[in-house]
Amino acid sequence: MVSIGVGILGGGTVGGALATRLLTEQDAIAAKSGLTLELRHLAVRDPGKPRPYVFPPNLMTTVPEEVVDDPEVDLVVELMGGLEPAAGLVMRALQAGKPVVTANKELMATTGAELLEEAGRRGVSLLFEAAVGGAIPIIRPLSESLAGERITEVLGIVNGTTNFILTRMCQQATTFREALAEAQSLGYAETDPTADVSGADAAAKAAILASLAFGTWVGRDMVHTEGIESLDVADIGFAADLGYVPKLLAIASETGTGIAVRVHPTLVPVGHPLASVSGSQNAIYLRGPGVDELLFAGPGAGGGPTATAVLGDIIEVARELLAGAPAPPRVRLAPAGLRPVAELETSWYLRLEVVDRAGVLARIAGAFGDLGVSIESMVQIGRGETATLIFVTHPSPESGSRRAIEALSGLDVVRQVAAAIRVLIA
Ligand SMILES: NC(=O)c1ccc[n+]([C@@H]2O[C@H](COP(=O)([O-])OP(=O)(O)OC[C@H]3O[C@@H](n4cnc5c(N)ncnc54)[C@H](OP(=O)(O)O)[C@@H]3O)[C@@H](O)[C@H]2O)c1
């Protein structure tokens, strides 16, 4: 059996799990794939660091360039994370004519267009199945199985940390801070959770999903992004009474006059397939005229699940190497015609704290009506000096809704617009 030399850059959560599988499951992988994968090097920052598996010292290096440049390394696996030195090393491998597998969403959402172009120029593959959704197969389905489908919408729960936090806030009525602390104590959230809770991690994945679904280059900085930090547990309770579940959604849609890509907290109707995706699970839901609806769901992170996705890419690339015929580029990226979020139709859940007296409703309805926003439902909670009014609006252009929210804030009968959360237009 022919053997393929594999060099891994990064031996942390994913790289460590992958290296362990390559060392301990070599025969099983060979029996199933017909390939012998030989781990030649594992680059880390600190070889003395305690790791769950003790790797042979001769495999470890602190010089990642050595891994890329070794003629015995046929394919390079980048699992360091971050932009540099990962981007430079991936480019170096591609320029040397070596295929690359990566799980790095930040890398792909920032420099993916350049790297894919270089891979195409050199006639080698750059695969990144694990960059979105961990173990969930979604990159290959989007770029191959669904290459003939005209996808109209992709909705993703692509960040397990925020989904865990929101699930806890729903199920146990804990505050955002309490749920975040629990996520941190269970290892679902980093000590610095900013990238997750701000939506930045999901934005990188949204950019990748949109690029593949619509065959157009969407960079991470082109994604309108809002996080979950300011969600109030009170609204989660009120929304539940109205039949909604909060999710941090990555939304990429074909609007007819351009693509729109955004990440923001969204109230999802309880009957929608994404509403029941709970805890740290991820899911990607997509629609198109041929397939109607598809749902991909499963563990979106973790060393073991993610290593499985990386291993699948490695086996595919190794087969191409053996066949001596690299696959033609799977992804073609034309420049994007993006629509700003302000132009989209959006529907809102609004919680207003108002003065409880006659005529207030008429003033509020007037402010909505003046800006062309119509009300789907309204609930009053409590009486007394201040009453709480909850509105759900019909879809209307986001710019009008935003002006309506501003106008409401300025009314003397409105003490505050206490919450404004978008509602999924299903
Ligand atoms: N963790 C997940 O569940 C998951 C899921 C999907 C995708 N991903 C992606 O997979 C990638 C890896 O994530 P991870 O969680 O495995 O990260 P990690 O645990 O932080 O591991 C990073 C590894 O890279 C090594 N490294 C970093 N900079 C280096 C340098 N300059 N030279 C040599 N080695 C260096 C580190 O060495 P030391 O061990 O010595 O520190 C460590 O082994 C990221 O792009 C991430 O977004 C992760």
Domain coordinates in residue numbering, the chain: 3-135+303-332, 140-298, 341-423
Centroid of ligand 1 to alpha carbon of 233 (angstroms): 34
Give per-residue pLDDT as tens, 15-27. Answer: 999 999 999 999 9
Query: Per-residue pLDDT for 316 more than 80?
Result: yes
For residue 335, the model assigns a pLDDT of 75
Ligand 1 centroid from CA 310, angstroms: 13
- What's the pLDDT at 358? 86
CATH number at 140-298: 3.30.360.10
**Could you report the per-residue pLDDT of 395-424, keeping only the tens digit for each?**
999 999 999 999 999 999 999 999 999 999
Is the pLDDT at 331 greater than 90? The verdict is: no
Distance 143 CA to ligand 1 centre (A): 26
Tell me which residue of 68, 105, 72, 70 sits closest to 88, measured CA to CA. Answer: 68
Q: Whose CA is nearest to atom 23 of ligand 1?
A: 10
The band of 267, judged by pLDDT with boundaries at 50, 70 and 90, is very high
Q: Does residue 327 register a pLDDT over 80?
A: no
Could you tell me the distance, in angstroms and rounded to a whole number, from the CA of residue 104 to the centre of ligand 1?
9
For the chain, give the mean pLDDT: 95
Q: What percent of the chain has pLDDT over 90?
A: 89
Task: Give the residue numbers annotated as catalytic, written as ranges.
Answer: 205
Q: Is 324's pLDDT higher than 90?
A: no
Residue 117 token pair: 């172009």
pLDDT value of position 28 = 95
Atom of ligand 1 nearest to the CA of 85: 31
Q: What does the pLDDT read at residue 333?
A: 78
- The answer to whether residue 357 scores a pLDDT higher than 90 is no
pLDDT at 384 over 90: no
Is any atom of ligand 1 closer than 6 Å to the C-beta of 199? no
Ligand 1 pocket residue status of 18, Cβ below 6 Å:
no
Nearest to 205 by CA among 100, 307, 343, 109: 109
Q: Is 159 in the pocket of ligand 1 (CB under 6 A)?
A: no
**Which atom of ligand 1 lies at the shortest distance from residue 17's CA?**
16
Distance of CA 325 from the midpoint of ligand 1 (Å): 31
Lowest mean pLDDT among 64-73, 134-143, 356-365: 356-365
Give the percent of the chain with pLDDT over 70: 100
CATH of region 3-135+303-332, choose from 3.40.50.720, 1.25.40.10, 3.40.50.300, 3.40.250.10: 3.40.50.720
By most ligand atoms within 8 Å of CB, the mutation choice from 14, 68, 128 for ligand 1 is: 14
Q: Which of 64-78, 279-293, 309-323, 329-343 has the lowest mean pLDDT?
A: 329-343
Query: Can you give the pLDDT at residue 122?
Result: 93
The pLDDT of residue 132 is above 90: yes
Residue nearest ligand 1's atom 20 by CA: 12
124 lines ligand 1 (CB under 6 A): no
CATH 3.30.70.260 fits 341-423, yes or no: yes
